[in-house]
Structure 1
């Protein structure tokens, strides 16, 4: 079995996959953020669009998300801080020029009708 991409040490089947496949909803902002990282790693742009809040979704085109997800090799996720509605993290990846990169972000999430959504983020 494959360990989850989000770094939880659980198997993907028992961690982020149920959220990505739609059989469960992420119970916390951090769980949503971790599942979104796993969606990047597995190139699931539809999930990334669906879990983006409607107020900012117009800024996140499926084609652009898919291109960024597939043009990078996602290595590791490190959660630095988490609160009820925000997560600060570093996502480590190798770009298409085979250079190591770090995406450092403080993300804001919103809970609506029992579902968490990514609103936006501040990049460092």
Structure 2
């Protein structure tokens, strides 16, 4: 995990406690689709599969999720958002997430670019699915 004074892995510029920490712990719901997407990136960066599963819509959520310990997610660029605000029922966030191998891992640095779709219901914002981009 990260300390309360550490910068949030989602690259918002805030500390983890000011940003994604309360969402991960369930103390606060994500107010927007982008905020949920940022919390999900932070979960990948921190290895928090439980948060990823909790924030995944039941219609598309896998039964279990195994994160690759040899991949380190270190930077998130939000490229565009569509809807996904506090009064919207759906939203989309396009982002690029950058990774590199851990010290013990093989592989090359790279990135993943995705247009993610979200819905807001009784459980707050949830990730539905996404389309990989170029």
| Structure in which a larger fraction of residues adopt helix | 1
Partner of 1:93: 99
Segments ≥4 residues shifted beyond 3 Å: none
Out of 40, 43, 52, the residue aligned to residue 44 of structure 2 is 40
2:36 touches 2:126 (CA, 8 Å); kept in 1? Answer: yes
Partner of 2:86: none
Structure 1: runs of 5 or more not aligned: none
Out of 6, 12, 15, the residue aligned to residue 8 of structure 1 is 12
2:70 touches 2:106 (CA, 8 Å); kept in 1? Answer: no
**For 1:24 and 1:48, how far apart are their aligned partners in 2?**
15
**For 1:40 and 1:29, how far apart are their aligned partners in 2?**
17
Change (3 A) 1:114 1:46: closer
**For 1:78 and 1:97, how far apart are their aligned partners in 2?**
24
Cα deviation, 1:69-103, whole Å, max 9, x if unaligned, reads x2211110000001220000000001332411101
1:49 aligns with 2:53: yes
Q: With the length of structure 1 as denominator, give the TM-score of the two structures.
A: 0.90
Task: Report the 3-state secondary structure (helix = DSSP H, G, I; strand = E; otherwise coil) of the residue aligned with 1:83.
Answer: strand
**For 2:39 and 2:17, how far apart are their aligned partners in 1?**
12
Cα deviation, 1:52-76, whole Å, max 9, x if unaligned, reads 0000013x622x2xx23x2211110
CA RMSD in angstroms comes to 1.3
Out of 106, 112, 120, the residue aligned to residue 103 of structure 1 is 112
Q: With the length of structure 2 as denominator, give the TM-score of the two structures.
A: 0.84
Which of structures 1 and 2 has the bigger CA Rg? 2
